[in-house]
Amino acid sequence: LLLGAIILSGLIFIANPGGTSFWLFLIIALALTLGVMAVIPIGGADMPVVISLLNSYSGIAAAAAGFAVNNNLLIVAGSLVGASGIILTQIMCKAMNRSLTNVLFSGFGAVKKQEAIEGEVKPITAEDAFYILEAASSVVFVPGYGMAVAQAQHVVKELCELLEENGAEVNFAIHPVAGRMPGHMNVLLAEADVPYDQLVEMD
């Protein structure tokens, strides 16, 4: 409905270019509303895909603006950004074993009931976790969005050091779409001074 209203407003604006700017502002308002309404239902885990897709849209818009003002540089730059964004979106969807359609429209009409929290939450320190893993000779951490939200990368690094002092081999398995965007986990672990050679990407 919003898309139809945008197209109709655009046709009216094109048919009467010398008229009032009301239709232009209406198109901007409707486009803004459409963008917000399209992104709101998408879950936080799918946000990296949405970010790369919106990045692609910005490139396509820049290329379209380049055609409008007859600017070759804008056309080329916009086309490169748009194409790279689409390719990155496709790669991330493949890594998540989901289609782009499923990512964009899976939230519509889905009402999730909040699950009751059972039991008592007992926080533990890096030392407590070390005692659990003390007998391990090789440990692989798989960091995700939870580590980013809790800002736990420094605690993970502390646990990593305790395990290495005990003679264990420690590595970090990085999923392509872990966190808010590709490379998010790499940045957080680098902030905690985790050696880059301990980060293992998916094959």
pLDDT of res. 122? 81
User: pLDDT tens digits for 164-194?
Assistant: 999 999 999 988 777 777 778 888 999 999 8
CA distance 118 to 27: 49
- With CA atoms as reference, report the closest residue to 177 among 60, 82, 46: 46
Query: What pLDDT is stored for residue 203 in this prediction?
Result: 65
For residues 112 and 40, give the distance between their C-alpha atoms in angstroms, rounded to a whole number: 15
Ranges of each domain in the chain: 2-105, 126-201
CATH of domain 126-201: 3.40.50.1220
Read off the pLDDT of residues 129-160 as tens digits, 9 standing for 90 and up.
888 888 889 999 999 888 888 888 999 999 99
Of all residues in the chain, the percent with pLDDT exceeding 90 is 27
Compute the radius of gyration of the chain from its Cα atoms.
23
Q: How many CA atoms lie within 13 A of 194 on its CB side?
A: 28
Residue 45: partners with Cβ closer than 8 Å, 6 or more residues away: 145
- Cα-to-chain-centroid distance, residue 95: 13
The answer to whether 180 and 148 are in contact (CB under 8 A) is: yes
- Cβ contact 102:43 at 8 Å: no
Query: Residue 117: which pLDDT band, with cuts at 50, 70 and 90?
Result: low
The type of residue at 19 is G
Alpha helix stretches (DSSP H) within the chain: 2-15, 22-39, 47-69, 72-95, 100-105, 126-132, 145-150, 153-165, 184-191
Q: How much is the pLDDT for 119?
A: 76
Note the pLDDT of residue 108. 53
% of residues, the chain, pLDDT over 70:
90
Alpha-carbon dihedral sign for residues 82, 99, 46, 3:
positive
Q: Residues 13, 14, 15, 18: is their CA dihedral positive or negative?
A: positive
Q: Which two tokens stand for residue 88?
A: 């990155």
How high is the pLDDT of residue 156? Answer: 92
pLDDT, mean over the chain: 84
